[in-house]
Amino acid sequence: MNPLLGWALAAALVSIATLTYGWRGLLLALTVVVFWLVLQFNRTLRVMRNAGQAPLGRVPSAVMLNAKLRPGMTMIEVVGLTRSLGRKLGAGDDDWAWQDEGGASVQLHFRAGKLERFTLERPVEPEAPEAPPPAP
């Protein structure tokens, strides 16, 4: 949800509840808003706790991660999906990578907190030497 929309809905709830039920409505609306904020905070902590227990920048399958990614996802959604903290790439502003055991990796670029683009890189496998022709 867009944060501006969320805060606008919270302000509308508080104002309507205050106008309709007075100070009791104000208390109820503030309680609901604070409860919602606590739920969001708890969700973020749970995602980060789970990610902190996993190896840095590792996923079971980079191909499956690539299939589940969508532009516009937030970092907390990506970390929840990977269950691992990403590995920061070079000097890029907001570039991160996750890799699987087979060597395939997914590089993600974020802009303004949203996933802008992502690429899947698979390891180059050496070509197998040609088998000699069978003996007559």
At 34, give phi and psi (nearest 5°): -65, -40
Which CATH number is correct for 55-121, 3.30.450.20, 1.20.210.10, 3.30.1450.10, 3.40.50.2000?
Answer: 3.30.1450.10
Q: Where are the domains of the chain?
A: 3-51, 55-121
Amino acid 135: pLDDT: 72
Mark out the alpha helices in the chain (DSSP H runs). Answer: 3-21, 23-52, 62-68, 75-82
Rounded to an integer, what distance in angstroms lies between the CA atom of residue 11 and that of residue 21? 15
pTM exceeds 0.85, yes or no: no
C-alpha 83, offset from chain centre: 9
129 pLDDT above the threshold of 80 = no
pLDDT, one tens digit per residue, over 77-118 is 999 999 999 899 887 678 999 999 988 999 999 988 899 999
Q: Tell me if residue 127 falls in helix, strand or coil.
A: coil
